[in-house]
Chain A
Amino acid sequence: MTTALCERTRAALPEYLAETLGESGRREVRGHLAVCAACRAEAASADPTLLFAFSNPPEVSSAEVASVVESVRAGIALREAERRIAPPAPRRASGRAARAAAAAAVLLLTLAISSGPPGSAPPAPAGKSVEAASAGPTALPGVAAVASPEGAPKASGGATVYDWNPGAGEPRVVWIVDGSLDI
């Protein structure tokens, strides 16, 4: 027997399918279709995708639940064991720290060489960089600031060349930072 609710449900189906029906209207349609076989058949023949709205959830046996619980328990135990026996991760300097350390090491080395016999430093004009194929400088925080007052950094391949010439008889300092150097 077709009731007013049946009529209303059937009239609301296009909106239901177009996702333009509000949530309360949608609940009413689903609620009615769940209990009215005639409307359900009518709806499914109008749009067969509605058949799937009323499929019961797949049956899950208690054995299946137990099997999932068991496998999760085993998975947790395995991960905990892996965590316990895993060697501690080696301490490794971060890329930026490694580059900064490399720069500092090269700078100290260069200073040591440059401050040898007096007057051994090449009399280059202040602010001029050494010849290096420039592929765009890569700024290194901290290090670039040291180089910038007198000499601009130049990049060549994976390395950046810094040239600092304070003039006034002071030794000229050139240092190279190789980004690929990992220490």
Chain B
Amino acid sequence: MELVYSESRRRQETAQAADRELVAEARGGDLLAFEALVARKTPAVLAVARRVVGNPEDARDVAQMVFLRVWEQLDRYDPTWSFNTWLYRIATNLSIDFLRSSRSRERAHGATLHLVRQREESTSLETTRAVEDGELERLFERVSHRLSAKQKAAFVLREMEDRDTREIAEILKCGESTVRNHLFNARRILRREIARLYPGLLRPETKS
């Protein structure tokens, strides 16, 4: 167990060192180094963006905006801070902005109508069967549309990205108690939405 932990920590440290090197070169104006950094970080940025904004196409747009913002603000980045936290802050904030934008609201409205229709057509999801990853992603998208953008971002970062509350507070530029408050409310709303849309996922005594 300790060996596995050490191995994963060493890998993480190596990755961070490589990030630092690429960031330093990119800050010096090396576009190739920046592109290498983009390629390394795209999966993580897309994961957060997709979970917050809700669909792959919008997430790609957000990711592009994120890296353009990073390129423009690289000289403002303080290398004594974690690059990942800085990147997550930009990615999360742009995802939140996107989610709040009218375009996103219109799409969400369309998706909601689609979900209502889908729910009317099938009740097969109202079971306790194992939920596959793709299914979980769709389930989250269905039940999370009533969360505020910040509640959703806090839940995604904490529960799905496994970030600690201090880092989330840095990313969302708020206090840790505010993060905990967002998480508490997010769970409450998600539970209520799951109970409404998928009562089969709840244990009998928790349904009431």
Q: Which of B64, B136, B164 meets A51, CB within 8 Å?
A: B136
How far is it, in angstroms, between the C-alpha of A76 and the C-alpha of B201 when the chains are bound?
47
CB pair A69–B194 under 8 Å, yes or no, is: no
The answer, yes or no, to whether B33 is at the interface (CB within 8 Å) is no
The answer, yes or no, to whether A148 is at the interface (CB within 8 Å) is no
Question: Which B residues from 151 to 208 make CB contacts under 8 A with A?
Answer: 155, 159-160, 162, 164-165, 180, 183-184, 186-187, 190-191, 194, 198, 201-203, 206
B68 partner residues in chain A, CB cutoff 8 A: 72, 75-76, 79
B160 partner residues in chain A, CB cutoff 8 A: 52-53, 55, 57
Q: Which secondary structure characterizes the binding site on chain B?
A: helix
A42-50, A116-124, A127-135 - the one binding chain B: A42-50
Q: Which of B159, B186, B202 meets A53, CB within 8 Å?
A: B159
Per-residue contact bits, chain B 46-79, to A (CB 8 Å; 1 contact, 0 not):
1100110000100010011001100110000000
CB pair A47–B47 under 8 Å, yes or no, is: no
Q: Which of B38, B56, B136 meets A72, CB within 8 Å?
A: B38
**Considering only CB atoms, which chain B residue lies closest to A30 in the complex?**
B162
The answer, yes or no, to whether B104 is at the interface (CB within 8 Å) is no
CB pair A68–B190 under 8 Å, yes or no, is: no
How far is it, in angstroms, between the C-alpha of A167 and the C-alpha of B208 when the chains are bound?
90
The answer, yes or no, to whether A17 is at the interface (CB within 8 Å) is yes
How far is it, in angstroms, between the C-alpha of A69 and the C-alpha of B198 when the chains are bound?
39
Nearest chain B CB to A82 CB, angstrom units? 12
CB pair A65–B39 under 8 Å, yes or no, is: yes
Nearest chain A CB to B64 CB, angstrom units? 5
A2 partner residues in chain B, CB cutoff 8 A: none
**Considering only CB atoms, which chain A residue lies closest to B203 in the complex?**
A45
How far is it, in angstroms, between the C-alpha of A66 and the C-alpha of B187 when the chains are bound?
36
**Considering only CB atoms, which chain B residue lies closest to A74 in the complex?**
B64
Q: How large is the interface on B (under 10, 10 to 19, 20 to 34, 35 or more residues)?
A: 35 or more
Nearest chain B CB to A12 CB, angstrom units? 16
B136 partner residues in chain A, CB cutoff 8 A: 51-52, 55
CB pair B131–A68 under 8 Å, yes or no, is: no
The answer, yes or no, to whether B137 is at the interface (CB within 8 Å) is yes
CB pair B202–A45 under 8 Å, yes or no, is: yes
How far is it, in angstroms, between the C-alpha of A49 and the C-alpha of B159 when the chains are bound?
9
How far is it, in angstroms, between the C-alpha of A31 and the C-alpha of B192 when the chains are bound?
27
B25 partner residues in chain A, CB cutoff 8 A: none
B38 partner residues in chain A, CB cutoff 8 A: 68-69, 72
CB pair B131–A73 under 8 Å, yes or no, is: no
How far is it, in angstroms, between the C-alpha of A130 and the C-alpha of B139 when the chains are bound?
75
CB pair A19–B183 under 8 Å, yes or no, is: yes
How far is it, in angstroms, between the C-alpha of A57 and the C-alpha of B31 when the chains are bound?
28
A68 partner residues in chain B, CB cutoff 8 A: 38, 42, 46, 60, 63-64, 67
CB pair A76–B31 under 8 Å, yes or no, is: yes
Per-residue contact bits, chain A 23-63, to B (CB 8 Å; 1 contact, 0 not):
10000001000000000000011111101110111101000
The answer, yes or no, to whether A67 is at the interface (CB within 8 Å) is yes
Nearest chain B CB to A19 CB, angstrom units? 5
Per-residue contact bits, chain B 72-106, to A (CB 8 Å; 1 contact, 0 not):
10000000000000000000000000000000000
CB pair B64–A64 under 8 Å, yes or no, is: no
How far is it, in angstroms, between the C-alpha of A40 and the C-alpha of B163 when the chains are bound?
20
CB pair B39–A69 under 8 Å, yes or no, is: yes
A65 partner residues in chain B, CB cutoff 8 A: 39, 42-43
Residue pairs across A and B with Cβ atoms less than 8 A apart, 14 shown, are A19-B180, A23-B164, A47-B191, A48-B194, A48-B202, A51-B136, A56-B133, A58-B50, A58-B56, A71-B60, A72-B67, A72-B68, A73-B31, A73-B35
Q: Which residues of A contact B (CB under 8 A)?
A: 17-19, 23, 30, 44-49, 51-53, 55-58, 60, 64-69, 71-73, 75-76, 79
